[in-house]
Amino acid sequence: MTTDNGFWATRRLVLQGAGLVALAGFGNIAFEAAPAQAAVSDKYPAKAFTLKGDDTAIKALYGKTVEVSDKVSLDAPEIAENGAVVPISATTTLPNVTSISFMVSENPNALAAYYRIPEGTMPEVANRLKMAKTTKVTAIVEAGGKLYSATKEVKVTIGGCGG
């Protein structure tokens, strides 16, 4: 469904000589990407959204390991009264950021959102996520081709899955 969008968006990037491809270190655009390349195209990473557990989702989305960094700031409430709407945001001082994602460890599917940050866009994003129960939340920033994260625990009083 989004394959065509991904294809043409990628084409547009090539034609505009966008720095994104250079930043990612890939000389060519691969349309049917290997898992590690899925993180640098505009194609919707459907598989990554179905996986349980942070590690499996990270592997599917990026194919790389993550290191904790104090240069990633994650804003999350200590206690979320309503697990259906938890305001979460992240920002970073790292340069050359190409994406930011959020993992909610205890959700049935760990990956909640994955933002592609083109050159010229600030490396920060605010959104609202559902949390099934008390959980760790992790923001993962992809910068210069490497992954950096920050994690917080959010206590959830009323679960966000409608239960």
Partner 1 sequence: MASTIRVRAVSSGEVTEVQALIQHPMDSGYVKDSHGKIIPPHYIQQLTFEHSGKNVLVANWGPAVSKDPYIKFSFKGAKKGDDLKISWVDNKGQTDSTTAKIH
Q: What are the tokens at 55? A: 């590690």
C-alpha 47/C-alpha 85 separation (Å) is 24
Query: Which C-beta is closer to partner 1: that of 37 or that of 109?
Result: 109
Site for partner 1 in 16-35 (CB under 8 A): 16, 18
Strands 135-143 and 97-104: antiparallel
Stretch that binds partner 1, among 44-52, 66-74, 138-146, 148-156 (CB under 8 A): 44-52
Which position among 23, 130, 140, 148 is part of the footprint of partner 1 (CB under 8 A)? Answer: 130
Query: For residues 124 and 155, which CB has a smaller minimum distance to partner 1 in the complex?
Result: 124
Q: H/E element holding 19? A: helix 19-24
Q: Residue 127, interface with partner 1 (CB under 8 A)? A: yes
| Least gap, CB of 1 to partner 1 (angstroms) | 6
> What residue ranges bind partner 1 (CB under 8 A)?
1-2, 5, 9, 12, 16, 18, 42, 44-46, 49, 84-86, 89, 104, 107-109, 111-118, 120-122, 124-131, 160-163
